[in-house]
Amino acid sequence: MATESENLESLVNRRYEHGFVTEIETETLPPGLNEGVVRAISARKNEPEWLLEWRLQAYRQWLEMEEPEWAHLHYPKIEYDEISYFSAPKSDDDRPKSLDEVDPKLLETYDKLGIPLHERARLAGVAVDAVFDSVSVATTFKEKLSDAGVIFCSFSEAVIEHPELVRKYLGTVVPRRDNYFAALNSAVFSDGSFVYIPKGVRCPMELSTYFRINAANTGQFERTLIIAEEGSHVSYLEGCTAPMRDENQLHAAIVELIALDDAEIKYSTVQNWYPGDENGVGGIYNFVTKRGDCRGANSKISWTQVETGSAITWKYPSCLLRGANSVGEFYSVAVTNNMQQADTGTKMIHIGPNTRSTIVSKGISAGKAQQSYRGLVRVMPQAHGARNHTQCDSLLIGKDCGAHTFPYMEIKNPSAKIEHEATTSKISANQLFYCRQRGISEEDAVNMIVNGFCKEVFKELPMEFAVEAQALLNVSLEGAVG
Amino acid sequence: MLEINNLKSRIGDTEILRGLSLSVNPGEVHAIMGPNGSGKSTLAQVVAGHQDYEVTGGSVTYKGQDLLELEPEERAREGIFLGFQYPVEIPGVNNAYLLKAALNAKRKHAGLDEIDAFEFLKTAREKMATLDMDPKFLNRGVNEGFSGGEKKRNEILQMAMLEPELAILDETDSGLDIDALKAVANGVNSLRNPDRAIVLVTHYQRLLDYIEPDFVHVLSEGQIIKSGDKSLALELEEKGYDWVREAASA
């Protein structure tokens, strides 16, 4: 017992030591956005003057910008003045004391997804002492990482501890005024992750595992910055297959990746935010800007995403292929069911010579959902020998959903080799009957066919997540047929 | 085992089965023959439970229960297997996966544990050898890009793995060259046993040279108009379907 209470105590202290959970205990800021709010956010994080100035410039730029309307998405106008841009994390007193107090439906979902027991409590927002196990595991990971020289901490912590790195790279991939949501995020970003892999270091573990059990509520304006120095390698997994509870409807995140010479970044996302009910009420709006910069020669950035959540998804993880021989990859599975809408895809910008990119997009629509793939392949005049292969497949379940493809190509160098393949298919009644005649239930048959359809993307995910992602798809499509 | 009594069924507005009766017991092999459009495939689909066929009259009893009350997957788990005339392609889903899922669904229904992966592979390889199939088959997408013969062999492989009590093979012989036909017939014959009934739906008597039926039935306009032993098939081959039809209406 003694050791346990000791551990508990050190754990509680650790919360304040490390930045993933901020120690601000003040209440939520009143709704509305103005310079005062930006200053207040910056002040609460003890940010240096240059960062406050950076945020303020972003805010001023945002004021001059218009919300984009080109996406194939329909949603009510967002009232930016009705949103609160900073809210204190819930105190432990307001949280469930144990899993017994958590909505049984949520627990049932965890079960279906095969989420390990020790992670369920944290995901469900149970007060910290009940989640003890997982955090101690996280501490072990942290030591292992620092032995390798890897910096992995919250964004706020990085601003304080490694200001020179943050200042050097922040906004160099996604400039403040890149787009409306990027400008908004730059002004009011709440927190996020910072990763720095030193020269020649191969990160000793998938950052997935660590992140999954350590990511507290980072708020609705998340900001992530990953820097891979020359010859380094990192695999990072964001998000979680479990449905996350979140009261904020608008999410506008930014992810910036920088790969220097011979470096490789693999960034995997599993996104399963609340999609709203069958009528589309109450779901999350997810407007994300994700971009990777292959700044160095022979560098490689690979995006893999499995998107099943959110009511509205607006997301185009992209690669700037600047270094000679650099490689960009985008593997995506997007599932939309009921009233969900997604406009998602990628941009591959070929700037350096002999740059290569691969796009594999698998879209699945069911219910009344609408899904669009929007992809841009741009080959700049100086990008000799650029190559791209795009494969874009849609699978429809039922007759009320839709799939749309908007491929854009801008080729300004005649030596480029560009291939584009696209298919649209339906799960046919005959396929389902065939499976049922073999004893497989209709739901299992749909899952089997969908998983077969997505196989090429799942194999790009870190092993343990591929299994969970499959389960996630099954849960997301429950009741899609019938 | 299977009692079909005065069965009537239609697809859309077209009535296809018009009072069909048939009794099948364990251990028996029945051949259902008849010209195109006589309702052979409809019979197979109705027994398997295809949703497009509406049953408008009569009854089907299987192992003492009302078969028409059961969902297609329940019928399958209860031991009914349909070898499809046109097996569908399911891209991306590999054969081994489908087979295992089917086998486990059946085992679960019977209160058994899931099959051991090693055991599964071993059995599948053995069965494939008897059907003269390349083991690589297991890793290909279900029927994806298969030739006609490969698809039919695949149906027989599934049957061999699932060990049904009642197997209905719908025109399994159509589109097969002689080697494939022999392989398929071997597969079927090796499954003949006193507990299992097999119903062969076929257009030609050729298949019956390799699989000897106990009973032959002639189907015409949705009814069985004549039944007999294997000699009936030979007689049909010689005299044609019109002969039976005339005899029946006389």
Decide if A292 contacts A263 (C-beta within 8 A). Answer: no
Fold of the B2-249 domain: Rossmann fold (3.40.50)
DSSP conformation class of A111: H
Which structure tokens are listed for B35?
Answer: 């010209």
Spatial CA neighbour of A315 closest among A268, A293, A347: A347
Range B110-117 average pLDDT: 92
Query: Which chain A residues are closer than 8 Å to B139 by Cβ?
Result: none
* Cα B247 to the center of its chain, rounded Å: 28
- Tell me the one-letter amino acid at B220: S
The domain locations on chain B are 2-249
Residue among B81, B84, B97 whose CB faces A448 most closely: B97
CB B91 to CB A452 under 8 A? Answer: yes
Q: CA of A137: how far to CAs of A134, A190, A269, A327, in Å?
A: 5, 26, 22, 35
Decide if A191 contacts A22 (C-beta within 8 A). Answer: yes
Range B124-148 average pLDDT: 90
What pLDDT shows up at residue A157? Answer: 87
Range B184-197 average pLDDT: 93
Q: What angle do CA A162, A215, A301 make, to 5 degrees?
A: 65
Which chain A residue has its CA at the smallest distance from B88's CA? A431
Query: Which chain A residues are closer than 8 Å to B88 by Cβ?
Result: 428, 430-431, 434
What pLDDT shows up at residue B194? Answer: 96
Beta-strand pair B2-11/B14-24: antiparallel
CB A448 to CB B87 under 8 A? Answer: no
Which tens digit of pLDDT belongs to each residue from B134-145?
888 898 999 998
Range A457-471 average pLDDT: 80
Query: Which chain A residues are closer than 8 Å to B41 by Cβ?
Result: none
pLDDT class of A247 with cuts at 50, 70, 90: low
- Does B109 contact chain A (CB < 8 Å)? yes
Query: Does the pLDDT at position A52 exceed 90?
Result: yes
- Does B94 contact chain A (CB < 8 Å)? yes
Decide if A404 contacts A375 (C-beta within 8 A). Answer: no
CB A439 to CB B48 under 8 A? Answer: no
pLDDT class of B193 with cuts at 50, 70, 90: very high
Interface of A with B in 414-453 (CB under 8 A): 425, 428-431, 433-442, 444, 448-449, 451-453
Q: How far apart are CA A34 and CA A31, in angstroms?
A: 10
- Tell me the one-letter amino acid at A368: K
Which structure tokens are listed for B139?
Answer: 């890793």
What pLDDT shows up at residue A397? Answer: 87
- Does B84 contact chain A (CB < 8 Å)? yes
Average pLDDT, chain B: 92
Query: Which chain A residues are closer than 8 Å to B96 by Cβ?
Result: none
What one-character-per-residue DSSP string does A7-54 give? HHHHHHHHHHHSTTS------PPPS--SHHHHHHHHHHTT--HHHHHH
Spatial CA neighbour of A131 closest among A7, A270, A3: A7
Q: Going by C-beta distance under 8 Å and a sequence separation of 6 or more, which residues neighbour residue A327?
A: A294, A299, A300, A301, A302, A321, A355, A356, A357, A358
CB A441 to CB B51 under 8 A? Answer: no
Range A170-199 average pLDDT: 93
Range of weakest confidence among A65-79, A193-207, B93-107: A65-79
Of all residues in chain A, what percent carry a pLDDT higher than 70? Answer: 78
Interface of B with A in 179-238 (CB under 8 A): none
CB B81 to CB A437 under 8 A? Answer: yes
Query: Which chain A residues are closer than 8 Å to B85 by Cβ?
Result: none
Spatial CA neighbour of B169 closest among B128, B129, B133, B210: B210
What pLDDT shows up at residue A243? Answer: 55
Range of weakest confidence among A45-49, A106-110, A281-285, B215-219: A106-110
What one-character-per-residue DSSP string does A122-182 give? HHTT--GGGGHHHHHHHHHHHHHHHHTT-EEEEHHHHHHH-HHHHHHHTTSSS-TTSSHHH
Query: Does the pLDDT at position B210 exceed 50?
Result: yes
Residue among A436, A439, A454 whose CB faces B106 most closely: A439
CB A434 to CB B87 under 8 A? Answer: yes
User: pTM of the predicted model, to two decimals?
Assistant: 0.79
Which tens digit of pLDDT belongs to each residue from A199-221?
999 998 888 644 443 344 445 78
DSSP conformation class of B69: G
